A and B are shown apart, each in its own frame.
Chain A
Amino acid sequence: MKLLKTLGLATALTLATGGVMAQSDDPLSVGFIYVGPIGDFGWSYQHEQGRLAIEEHFGDAVETTYIESVPEGDSERVIRRMAQDGTDLIFTTSFGYMTPTLRVAGQFPETMFEHATGYQRADNVSVYSGRFYEGRTVQGILAGHMTESNVIGYIASFPIPEVIRGINAAYLAAKSVNPDVEFKIVWVSTWFDPAKEADAANALIEQGADVIMQHTDSTAPMTIAEATWDNLGEDETGIYAFGQASDMLEFGPNARLSSIIDNWNPYYIERVQAVMDGTWESADSWHGIGQGTTTIGAFNINIPEDVAAEAQAALDAIAAGELHPFTGPVNKQDGSVWLAEGETADDGTLLGMNFYVEGIEGAIPN
């Protein structure tokens, strides 16, 4: 066994220095690096589902490895170790892995890297992400209809464009179906802290929110919303929430209205196939509902039919490319015009979004 491994290392070395190509009958080795535990039922869990989908789809033709809970500040060693082991394709699935991925990629030009949610590419580094904001539009429609207090609570992690995009998309959609709607936003400065997220959900509920959206990774807000459904009187409803990253149905059978599911499976299978076919190239993929990367979980049965139909129509229109979540007229928070009538936002603006749209109260931190 040891000998084999040493041989493997030697092969990797020759590969790295531009030597012979691996024989085609070897299984393709694919590695995954996760920032959280695979049991987080959120971000890392969904990437792990992608890995399992690859295994199922390609069978013996692939060999996958993964390593979970890799701290972003200490990830370069792990990425490098995977590259040294001769892994052909490496998925680094957190923003904080960007710099380390690029560094290792520079030293292993024959290894292919896929970095999630980053913004810097190299010849052998692709970046990929999902247009999760498209899902926010669907959520916003549901939330705008379902809220009775007209207050929607939003648990946000960090004020990065991705999160701000989600807030804006959800707000525009909710406002379009319910002009009285109001957003209350809480920044928790963490991606994963169940206790703090639970406290934030409670704070929003106390402030009158009856629908909770989250852009954090734990299932705690959903659990808190579900708890309000216990011991309800007749004709009373509890707090609604949305699954984030994964479906989260089991955490909120009553409370969950729908969910945005990060479905990496099609992209991962496509990229592995590309490596096998020898057609893999560095790319910048930003796929949404149309390509299946952003999937919308089944609607709660308590949603009235017409509301569900409206949300479904929006979903279908987005999938078909007929509806863009950011379509003018839209003003910025300060009242200045952002998008004129009929104009849609370009990807560049979306990728760097650092402003709220008109109607959202409060300021983005910093």
Chain B
Amino acid sequence: MMEVIGLNADVTIQQSLFYILTTLLPIMVIAATPLVLASTGELIVEKSGVLNLGVEGMMVMGAVIGFITAVETGTPVAGFILAAVAGGLLALIFGFLTQVLLSNQVATGLALTLFGLGLAALMGQTYTGIRPPQTARIDIPFVSDAPVLGQMLFSYDWIVYFALALVGAVWWFLNRTRAGLVLRAVGENHDAAHALGYRVIAIRLAAIAFGGACAGMGGAYLSLVRVPQWSEGMTAGIGWIALAIVVFASWKPGRVIIGAWLFGGVTILQLNIQAANLNVLGIAAIVLAVVTIGMIALNLRSMTAKNWIRVAFLGALALLSWAMALTWPAFRLDSAYLSMTPYLMTIVVLVAISGDRTRAALNAPASLGRVFHASS
């Protein structure tokens, strides 16, 4: 079967499905966790109307502090807590500069990244070449060992669940609490919020500190779980991806998870496709076919002519890549092109959500990046 669709690997559909669910998915979840944490923090910051581009700096700070603490105390939990504190403190430098001294947020965020990378490297100099203590996995008797579902859902360390719970909490906070409403109001129109008597600067500082704490924990996850080690510059651009995910998620907490899995997943997928020696064209054919069938299934009752054209177009693309996969079984795409896709998709999503002005206004904070000074 797989031979026919050009995957040139002798595995059955069941086997590959099993493989995807029990091995690929868990790695994707782990790769995505630092992104989930950092993006959720930045989402709160942006919802309050502040754009902090210093996520990378705060993450790397969390990575080094978390590592040092875990090594010195022997408890990873302490590492994560202090990483959050360190990330929050670093963020407050940004907060003080942008909120109290009214400096430009874009420039200050960039400076924060430079500062954070340097400071972290300086502090971590004597901590290279050490192994951190292991972060505990949640192990539920019987359940974690259950085939497929157990491995899919219950085989992670506690931070993974914490990150997901955090997303839920943030969703609840933004949509169901009064404080969340105030935060959104501040991000929407700081002058109006100020006129209503809310302390805009204090609220924003709190949001910035929260964002820093989340980024710090995300960094600690890198140095304590995903890689487990400390090395200079180990964040290698993850902080910037976290920024992209907030936009991709159109400032909605639930979608942050999808975005993080997508961004984390593309890297993992790319490496796995290589390791399994699969043909990218074959994969593309499968994905396109699934999307086509999905579109037909979802719109079966209301298939307009326009929809049929779309389906036909997608189907033709699927056939084309299938034909190409069969023609060039040894085709290997330069991984650089694959690495571009999440960024391009983010732009597409951004365009899609911004096009409808009324809908965009509900999500994107209107005062994002604007300077507030209570001049009255």
Contact = CB atoms under 8 A, between A and B. Distances in A.
B234 A195 contact: yes
Contacts of A184: 275-277
A23 B156 CA distance: 66
Contacts of A218: 231
Contact of B228 (A188, A193, A227, A362): A227
A195 B236 contact: yes
Interface stretch (A35-43, A75-83, A133-141): A35-43
A219 B228 CA distance: 10
Contacts of A220: 227, 229, 231
B274 A41 contact: no
A209 B125 CA distance: 33
B23 interface: yes
B141 interface: no
B335 A195 contact: no
B177 interface: no
- Size class of the A contact interface (CB-based, 8 Å): 35 or more
A223 B222 CA distance: 12
Contact of A187 (B19, B134, B227, B274): B274
B132 to A, nearest CB: 9
A286 to B, nearest CB: 30
Interface stretch (A94-102, A161-169, A199-207, A304-312): A199-207
B231 A194 contact: yes
A230 interface: yes
Interface stretch (B80-88, B201-209, B264-272): B264-272
A198 interface: yes
Given A202-B27, A206-B27, A366-B334, A194 B272 contact: no
Interface in B212-230: 222, 226-229
Given A198-B227, A199-B267, A203-B272, A40 B232 contact: yes
Contact of B128 (A41, A153, A199, A224): A41
Contacts of B27: 199, 202-203, 206
A75 to B, nearest CB: 18
Given A186-B275, A189-B336, A200-B271, A363 B227 contact: no
A196 B277 contact: no
Contacts of B291: none
A299 to B, nearest CB: 21
B271 A199 contact: yes
Given A196-B236, A207-B275, A365 B332 contact: yes
Interface string B138-167: 000000000000000000000000000000
A292 to B, nearest CB: 24
A223 B236 contact: no
Interface string A216-246: 0011100110110010000000000000000
Contacts of B235: 195
A365 B333 CA distance: 8
B238 A195 contact: yes
A196 B334 contact: no
B249 interface: no
Contacts of B24: 206
A250 interface: yes
B130 interface: yes
Contacts of A361: 277
Contacts of A209: 275
B129 interface: yes
A191 B225 CA distance: 21
Nearest to A226: B131
Interface string B265-294: 001100110111100000000000000000
A185 interface: yes
24 contacts: A40-B128, A40-B231, A40-B232, A184-B277, A187-B335, A188-B271, A189-B336, A194-B229, A194-B231, A195-B222, A195-B238, A196-B271, A199-B27, A202-B27, A203-B272, A203-B274, A203-B275, A207-B276, A209-B275, A250-B131, A251-B129, A251-B131, A362-B274, A366-B334
Given A37-B232, A203-B268, 16 more contacts: A41-B129, A153-B275, A189-B336, A194-B234, A195-B31, A195-B238, A200-B275, A218-B231, A220-B229, A223-B131, A226-B131, A227-B134, A227-B228, A250-B131, A361-B277, A363-B332
Interface of A: 37, 39-41, 153, 184-189, 193-196, 198-200, 202-204, 206-207, 209, 218-220, 223-224, 226-227, 230, 250-251, 361-363, 365-366
